[in-house]
Amino acid sequence: MSSQTPDLKSIVGEIVGDMKKRGDKGKVATYIPELANVDPDMFALVVIDAKGDVAAGGDFETPFSIQSISKVFTLTLALGMVGDRLWRRVGREPSGNPFNSIVQLERERGVPRNPFINAGAIAVTDVIVSGHQPREAIGEILRFMRFLADDHTIAIDRAVADSEKRTGFRNVALANYMKSFGVIENPVDFTLGVYFHHCAISMSCLQLARAGRYLAHSGRNPATGLSVVSPERARRINALMLTCGHYDGSGEFAYRVGLPGKSGVGGGIFAIAPGKASIAVWAPGLDSAGNSHLGRIALETLARRTGWSIFGV
Ligand code: GLN
């Protein structure tokens, strides 16, 4: 990277302009019925640099369903609660399988490959649920998101949570299967209820990029000065995002973008340029692996224009 700070505002403005014009938007998720109502033309990009300067464009203040992006924050919370004991219940290897795959779980005796596939995230949620009523656990996760973003308006979209509760049969199967191996401690309904609710958190790209700044800055949020996790833990969460954050599209994302990132079926992607920036993009249309199609293309352009890929310029 050149020593000069790139002009982020103009780069972001150009990317947003280009993306708004494109016809290849991908397909909005429909397996959670409520997500099918989202306007496929929405697009937002936010980059917050190390100084706290914000470059934002498009629909960057419009809240969307963060879905699996919430898994980065529940992982952070669960590690804070039980530390490395978490890794007895979930692995740290990329899955090479779709996010809701069941086959691998049988081969691996109910221990999910990583905390970002659905089974792994459900196991992580179960850790947060232990010792709490589901309502308290949901409150704890929401409070954590509000604390990270320093924004008390962040909320859960009940319609999205209820929609997934009514139709999330595959997640019910994954959770019951893990329960049969003792990987889930709490009643399956409790853990899944909390999982569906944290996936249904609504946030704008601006709120998301603010919430994730600790991962760009060695575990400390520069806006509040508060340490969220140790530098070592922040580095490790970033490593997991790089290797597992896009399911069976993780290799392609690393190849094209070269930044740790986590996608969600709401069309959001949260990404980190270590030491440099916290980034959020939202484009609801997905590719065949369930990752935002234009979101990935936007990040690829951003990484190229800034030279921020962790693998070199
Ligand atoms: N709540 C969604 C599900 O469990 C999350 C999936 C995703 O965002 N990839 O299916």
- Which atom of ligand 1 is found nearest the CA of 290? 9
Residue 264 Cα, ligand 1 centroid: separation in angstroms? 7
Count of other CB atoms within 10 angstroms of residue 220: 18
pLDDT confidence of residue 3: 43
pLDDT confidence of residue 313: 83
pLDDT confidence of residue 2: 43
Residue 238 near residue 274, CB atoms below 8 Å: yes
Residue 75 near residue 304, CB atoms below 8 Å: no
Closest CA to 186 of 140, 111, 138, 134: 134
Residue 191 near residue 123, CB atoms below 8 Å: no
Closest CA to 289 of 239, 253, 242, 240: 253
Tokens of 133: 């009523």
State how far the Cα of 124 lies from the Cα of 109, in Å rounded to an integer. 17
Residue 180 Cα, ligand 1 centroid: separation in angstroms? 22
Count of other CB atoms within 10 angstroms of residue 103: 9
| Residue nearest to ligand 1 atom 4, measured at CA | 118
One digit per residue, the tens of pLDDT, for the chain of length 313 reads: 444 555 999 999 999 999 999 999 999 999 999 999 999 999 999 999 999 999 999 999 999 999 999 999 999 999 999 999 999 999 999 998 888 989 999 999 999 999 999 999 999 999 999 999 999 999 999 999 999 999 999 999 999 999 999 999 999 999 999 999 999 999 999 999 999 999 999 999 999 999 999 999 999 999 999 999 999 999 999 999 999 999 999 999 999 999 999 999 999 999 999 999 999 999 999 999 999 999 999 999 999 999 999 999 8
Residue 5 Cα, ligand 1 centroid: separation in angstroms? 36
Sequence-ordered list of residues with C-beta below 8 angstroms from that of 267, at least 6 positions apart, any chain: 28, 29, 38, 42, 64, 282, 283, 284, 285, 286, 292, 295
Instruction: Count each helix (H run) and each strand (E run) in the chain, helices first.
Output: 13, 8
State how far the Cα of 22 lies from the Cα of 160, in Å rounded to an integer. 28
Ligand 1 within 6 A of 67 CB?
yes
Is-catalytic flag, 195? Answer: yes
**Catalytic residue from among 127, 247, 276, 281:** 247
**Side-chain half-sphere CA neighbours of 254 within 13 A:** 17
Structural domains of the chain in order of their starting residue, each with its CATH number:
6-63+205-222+235-306 (3.40.710.10), 68-201 (3.40.710.10)
State how far the Cα of 260 lies from the Cα of 233, in Å rounded to an integer. 14
**Catalytic residue from among 65, 195, 292, 309:** 195
Ligand 1 within 6 A of 291 CB?
no
Cα distances (Å, whole numbers) of residue 157 to 145, 169, 202: 14, 20, 6
Count of other CB atoms within 10 angstroms of residue 169: 9
Ligand 1 within 6 A of 282 CB?
no
Task: Choose which residue among 192, 199, 250 to substitute to test ligand 1 binding: the one with the highest number of ligand atoms within 8 A of its C-beta.
Answer: 199
pLDDT confidence of residue 6: 57
Ligand 1 within 6 A of 118 CB?
yes
What is residue 207's three-state secondary structure?
Answer: helix
Ligand 1 within 6 A of 259 CB?
no
Ligand 1 within 6 A of 99 CB?
yes
